[in-house]
Amino acid sequence: MSMPLVEVDRVTKDYRLWHKPADRLATMLLEQAAQLPLVPEGIGRRLRAAADRRGALFHALRETSFTLRRGESLGIIGRNGSGKSTLLQILAGTLQPSTGTLKVSGRVAALLELGSGFNPEFSGRENVLLQAALFGFTRRDVEARMPEVEEFAGIGEFIDQPVKVYSSGMLVRLAFATQTIVEPELFIVDEALAVGDVFFQAKCAKFFEDRLRSGMSLILVSHDLVAVKALCQRTIVLHQGHLSFFGPSAEAVSHYHQLHRPRIESSNATVPATAPATGASVELPPGAQERNWPASQEVGSREIEIVYCRVLDASGQERAAFDLGEEVLVEFYTRSKVALAGVVFGLELTNRHNQVVYGATTVHLGAEPPSISAGSLSRFAFRFSARLGAGDYLIDAAVGWGDRGDGAPEQLLHRVARIASLSIRHTGLRPAFFGAADLSGRLQIDAG
């Protein structure tokens, strides 16, 4: 194992929130008075206590610890105000922690805020020269690689215009392009890519993938959870300044969703007397053993639990590999601890890069969310045509309650990551298409 590139040990960052502007001066005077050599200890304590009462202490980050090795990618997710930007500023060296230790080895490049470090009066070219000089590059070195920056940024003649006339998209393009020639050992990015268009985001993703293979490390803060799962091997979930989870990115996203789902209201937690109770006569398949999946990340409040899963072909035989276009049936069985109306079930297929290739719930598929009685067993069966690219796919399953508006459940009851897998084969001498899915494309040619 390589030595850690980043070591964060119990880092905390506190801020004092003043009740009124005069409290800042009063606190400084009281603290200085408490430190005078002739002041008795008892009076010093009272002076410090009086200073503390002048403002409330806000913990932006508390006791956070983790390590990052060379070539690894780390995501950081959390709601606004959870401490993400504070942590990144500490990692970038622009903010000092209140307590704890931090060790960062190697050259660090950071995109924390749009335009940070740029002189608005300088042209884009001059700012590139300035930024590279701060990393120890000579003017000759930078000018030799300037065509790379211009090509990556793609802002044309604006490279020679003052950056104060740039749009936010142009600004982030130039800032990112500058870092490509700096060749950092650690690249820190805080939501900066969100302002870029889809073409620039794809170019950045390719840059990350190439550099990660060559040994660069990446720390990415983003609200784009799909991008975090695709680009980052592990992810930190911050919640109210605390490190709430640190582990594989797919599991971190599940934890994040569970952390911010509302609890079931007691008024909705029982099936109406007139509602039909589904699943009362359902039984597990003969010989089935509950929880028949490998060790996996599971989250949820578990009023209903997923207890069994299997993958079948069109004839009802259990299979793990399918030819392109074959019908796949994925069966899930759940057991309910309470009576519940409006139950939503869903699955998600991801490829080996953690990219979601398909996902749907009972709401997306137009099925009426069922009412389930307490103690009952229920079966949810998803059928789909395996019109996917050749390769291996992982299946996540989730059961919840209510529709939050986009088809996903309002409350997550039980989610099992990587509950099952399947493989898709393309027969013949060549694959039928390339990419993640077969869109049944048609081509018309009118040749002259």
User: pTM above the 0.75 mark?
Assistant: no
Q: What is the mean pLDDT of residues 46-62?
A: 77
**What is the model's pLDDT at position 196?**
65
**What is the model's pLDDT at position 115?**
63
Strand order in the sheet with 377-385: 304-312, 327-336, 377-385
Classify strands 73-77 and 234-239 as parallel, antiparallel or unpaired: parallel
Give me the amino acid identity at 214. S
Query: Mind listing the pLDDT tens digit for each residue in 251-299?
Result: 888 788 777 765 544 334 443 333 444 444 789 999 999 999 887 778 8
pLDDT of 199 over the 90 cut: no
Classify strands 343-350 and 356-361 as parallel, antiparallel or unpaired: antiparallel
**What is the model's pLDDT at position 64?**
92
Name the β-bridge partners of 343: 401
Query: Mind listing the pLDDT tens digit for each residue in 134-146?
Result: 888 888 888 888 9
Residue 416 burial class via C-beta count within 10 angstroms: exposed 0-12, middle 13-18, buried 19 and up: buried
Identify the band that residue 421 occupies on the pLDDT scale cut at 50, 70 and 90: very high
**What is the model's pLDDT at position 352?**
79
Residue 125 sits at φ, ψ, to 5 deg, of -60, -45
Count CA atoms within 13 Å of residue 99 on its CB side. 9
Specify the residue for token string 């709401």: 363
Domains and CATH numbers, the chain: 4-10+66-255 (3.40.50.300), 272-284+291-425 (2.70.50.60)
Specify the residue for token string 């099936």: 271
Report residue 113 as tokens.
């805020």
**CB of 404 closer than 8 Å to CB of 410:** yes
Residues 6+ apart with CB under 8 A from 421: 320, 392, 393, 394, 395
pLDDT of 250 over the 50 cut: yes
Report residue 178 as tokens.
């500058």
Q: How far is CA 243 from CA 11, 225, 289, in A?
A: 11, 17, 36
Name the β-bridge partners of 111: 189
**What is the model's pLDDT at position 279?**
42
Give me the amino acid identity at 245. F
**CB of 357 closer than 8 Å to CB of 350:** yes
Cα–Cα distance, 279 to 81 (Å, whole number): 43
Count CA atoms within 13 Å of residue 6 on its CB side. 27
